Structure 1
Amino acid sequence: MSSIKQFFWWCAGVHEKTLVRCPEEHSKYVSIGATIFFTGLFASIAGGYALYFVFSGSPNALFYALLFGLTWGLAIFNLDRYIVLSIDKTQSSGKQFLQALPRIILAIIIGLVISRPLELKIFDKEIKEHLRVEYLKQQRATIDTLNSTFENKYLVEYSQLTALKKQADSLESTIRTSRQQLNHEIFGTKTEETSGVLGYGPYAKMKEENLKKQEIYLDTLRSRIQTKESQLLDRKTHEGLMDQKILSDKGLDSVINIAGFADRNAALSNLHKNPDGTINESTEYAVIFIALLFIFFECLPVFVKLMSGRDTYDNAILSQKIINNYESDTNIDVEKQALDKLKGHRTDVAIQRRMARLNEDYEASK
């Protein structure tokens, strides 16, 4: 426990020999040091996880993630330690807040940055489902765009094909009508177009010959349609349009698993939007609250230091600084005034004795 306590003291940036003489402040600075340490630890995890997406699929992805995560965590840890250490508790609350303001602003930015990778992991299942829908939409849109471009490119050929199909459909309808009339003529059914005489007479033969000519021409039209369609299909194949296919579920899962950070981040940003255009407020608030949690956690070391009052350790450090300047004969009168201001503040016994002795030396030298 002693080693852990000393480690957290070091994280808090305290002067250990001075803090040892202030036992009532030990737990306080253990808490401050632990807060700084765990802030750096979370920053390291989040930074490494973010970079793992960047190099996803690379054999060195894990190495780069660990290296960046460690570097990022140490940078945040060192920054927190410096800011907390540099806050002067002898100043007014307003001046202390101004000292900490740059760090608070930076903490907000860092909190947003380090919360994003963890949000991506927390909403991983929802993001994958969103990406599945988006990738299918993109594929269909791409295929539709390519087909539309191809049809515009070969607009004349498609117009000819459409005309042939309309002509074939019309002729096919005419043949059905003619065949029905032929049957009525043969079986003696009286209509406006038939004689009503039973048997296979001259009029029936004439209708049958016309019907055969129509069927031959229909076959010709169908052959031309088939040839035209084959030509267009060959051109589609040559231009690569036939290679564009909707991915199967297995292929789609593979694409989603290797999706990059940008796609996942965009999916997370749009996760609160339902397909019908409505807003899913529960998901939106969940993402916001997670970001706020990390922002607060990033600001916590500074807040802890700002919220803590001026204690014995702060007075001891200030006294030690003033006494060192006093003993080196640097602007003695100014240091004497600073010593006078410390009267009434709690300091340890050793500091009080040195202050009394220095006061005596100062009076003797006048």
Structure 2
Amino acid sequence: MEQLTRFFWWCSGAHRETLEKYPAEHSKYVGIGATIFFTGLFAALSGGYALYFVFSGSLFAPLYAVLFGLLWGLAIFNMDRYIVSSINKNAPGFRQFLQATPRILLAVLIGIVIARPLELKVFDKEIRDQLRVTYLDRQRANIDTLNKAFDSKYAIELGKLAELKSERDSLEASIKTDRIKLKMETFGEKTVETSGIVGYGPYAKQRQADLEKQERYLDTLRASIRQQEAFIAQRKQFEGLLDEQLLTGAQLDSAVNNAGFADRNAALGDLKYHPDGTVNEANYWSIMFIMLLFIFFECLPVFVKLMSARDAYDIALQNQQTVDNHRSGKDRDAEIAIMDGISDTKVRQGIERQKALLYSE
């Protein structure tokens, strides 16, 4: 416990020899140091987790994540330790606040940066579901875009195919009607278009000949349609339309597992809103409260230092700094005096040498 206490003192940036003389202040600086330490720890975890998705799929992704996490955590820890320890409790309150203002603004930014990767982990299941929807929508949109571009490029060929199909459908309907009329003519049913004579007479033969002619033309139309469809299918293959297919379940799961940090971050942002664009209150405030929690946690060391009253340790530290400044001032004065003495001696020696030269002449 003693070693842990000393470690947290060091994290708080306190002067250990001076602080040991005032037991009443020990726990306060243990709390400040622990807060700074755990802020750096959360920063390391957050940075490592974020970089893991940046290098996702790489063999060395875990190693890169650990190294970057340690560097990021140490950077945040060192910054917190320096700024908290640099707040002068012996200065007036307004000046202390001015000293802490850059640190508070920086804490807000750091809190947002630290909170985001941890939010990704908290909402991991919901993010995976959102990514599946996003990837499918994106692929459908891509297929639609390719189809529109193809329709525009081959508008003439597609128009010709549509005309052939329309003519085929019309001819098939006409043949069906003529077959009914041929049947009525053969059985002697009297209508405006039939003779009413039973048997396969001249009228029936004429209708049969017209029907066979239409069927031959229908076969020609169908052959033209097949030829046109084959050409369009060949162009679709050439343009890559046939290669674009919606992902299956296994392929979609693989794409979600390999999703990078940007896609996961965008999916987390999409969770704040319903498909119709309205705000999803539950998800929105859950994500917001996590971010606010880390911002508060990041600002906590500064707030504790600002809110704490000027204590015996601060007074002793000010006195020690005054003594050190006084000693350093005396040392500088002594050094200046010594340098002045050396300079005077050199001047006198120069004058004596000049006199000796004059006497010798």
Normalised to the residue count of structure 1, the TM-score between the two structures is: 0.88
Spell out, residue by residue over 1:216-256, the C-alpha distance to the aligned partner (whole angstroms, 9 max, x if none).
11011011001100111011112221101111111111111
The residue number in structure 2 matching 1:30 is: 30
- Counterpart of 2:165 in structure 1 is 165
Aligned to 1:344: none
SS at match of 1:241: coil
2:109 pairs with 1:109: yes
Question: Match of 1:259, SS?
Answer: coil
Structure 2 counterpart of 1:295, one-letter code: I
In structure 1, the partner of 2:258 is 258
Instruction: State the match for 1:83 in structure 2.
Output: 83
Residues 327 and 215 of structure 1, relative CA distance in 2, 3 Å threshold:
closer
Residue 326 of structure 1 and its aligned partner are, at CA, apart by 3.5
Alpha-carbon offset, residue 329 of structure 1: 5.5
* Partner AA of 1:157 in structure 2: E
SS of 1:87's equivalent? coil
| CA pair 173-46 structure 1, distance change in 2 beyond 3 A | same
Deviation at 1:294, TM superposition (A): 0.7
CA distance in 1, matches of 2:144, 2:325: 80
Q: Which runs of 4+ in 1 moved over 2 A?
A: 323-331
Alignment-derived partner of residue 136 in structure 1: 136
Matched residue, 2:184: 184
Alignment match, 1:276: 276
Please report how far the alpha carbon of residue 271 of structure 1 lies from its aligned counterpart in structure 2 after TM superposition.
Answer: 1.1
In structure 2, what is the equivalent of residue 126 of structure 1? 126
- Alpha carbon RMSD of aligned pairs, Å? 1.3
* 2:8 maps to 1:8: yes
Aligned mates of 1:237, 1:328 — CA distance in 2: 84
Question: Which residue does 1:240 correspond to in 2?
Answer: 240
State the shift of 1:269 in Å.
1.3
Give CA-to-partner distance per residue, 1:289-344, whole Å, 9 cap, x none. 1111111111111111111111111111111111233355559xxxxxxxxxxxxx
1:19 is matched with: 19
- CA offsets 1:234-287 (integer angstroms, 9 cap, x no match): 111122211011111111111111111111111111211111232211111111
- Work out the CA distance in 2 between the residues paired with 1:268 and 1:40: 24
Structure 1 position 149 matched with structure 2 position 139: no
Partner amino acid for 2:20?
Answer: V
The alignment-based identity, stated in percent, is 60
What is the rounded CA distance, in whole Å, between the counterparts of 1:85 and 1:214 in structure 2? 98
**Partner Cα separation in structure 2 for residue 141 and residue 221 of structure 1:** 35
Distance 2:176 2:90 in 1: 105
Partner SS state of residue 242, structure 1: coil
- The residue aligned with 2:67 is 67
**What residue number does 2:340 align with?**
none
Tell me the alpha carbon deviations over residues 5-56 of structure 1, each in whole angstroms, 9 at most, x when there is no partner: 1111111111111111101111111111111111111111101111111111
d(CA) in 2 for partners of 1:329 and 1:271? Answer: 63
Distance 2:98 2:34 in 1: 24
Structure 1 CA distance for aligned equivalents of residues 145 and 323 of structure 2: 80
Q: 1:247 to 1:327 in 2, by over 3 A?
A: closer
1:357 alignment partner in structure 2: none
Instruction: State the AA in 2 paired with 1:283.
Output: N
Gaps of 5+ in 1: 332-366
TM-score for the superposition, normalised by structure 2 = 0.89
Match of 2:359 in 1: none
- Number of aligned positions between the proteins: 331
